[in-house]
Amino acid sequence: MNALKIIKRRDMAPNQMRGAWAGEIGQTQFLASSYMKYAVDYDRDGRRDLIRSIPDVLASTANYLKNKGWRAGQPWGPGTANYRVLREWNKASVYVQTISVMADKIAK
């Protein structure tokens, strides 16, 4: 139903509704239900485009993380609240560990 709502509000055309094997949509792989809850039109072009609009992708991802309890300015390593938020984003430990390590490298 959420996929149909995305089409109805004209965020995507039916022929654009292609996702990964589990139906994830866009650069940061939102399920249709998350797309409906957290996607934002940050570039203000009238639609939430998580495939081609980098501003929409980044703002939507930030919106998701914030709503899941992300604490700005706080660490994201194992044992932290932000690490738990990343675990909610993706249950695979290796994924979350990789994001945490890469974030550390970028921050330096």
| Co-location of 51 and 91 in the same domain | no
Q: Could you report the per-residue pLDDT of 39-78, keeping only the tens digit for each?
A: 999 999 999 999 999 999 999 999 999 999 999 999 988 8
Number of domains in the chain: 2
What is the tens place of the pLDDT at every residue in 91-107? 888 989 998 888 889 98
pLDDT score of 72: 92
Neighbouring-strand partners of residue 25: 30
Asked if 60 and 104 sit in the same domain, the reply is no
Residues 31 and 78 placed together within one structural domain of the fold = no
DSSP 30: B
Please report the pLDDT score of residue 108 as a whole number: 80
- CA atoms of 102 and 43, how far apart (whole Å): 27
Shared domain check, 79 and 34: no
Q: Residue 105 sits in which domain range?
A: 71-108
Q: Is the per-residue pLDDT at 30 higher than 90?
A: yes
pTM over 0.75: yes
What is the pLDDT at residue 90?
A: 86
Give CA–CA dist 104/108, Å, rounded: 6
78 with 31, same domain?
no
Looking at the structure, do residues 44 and 87 belong to the same domain, yes or no? no
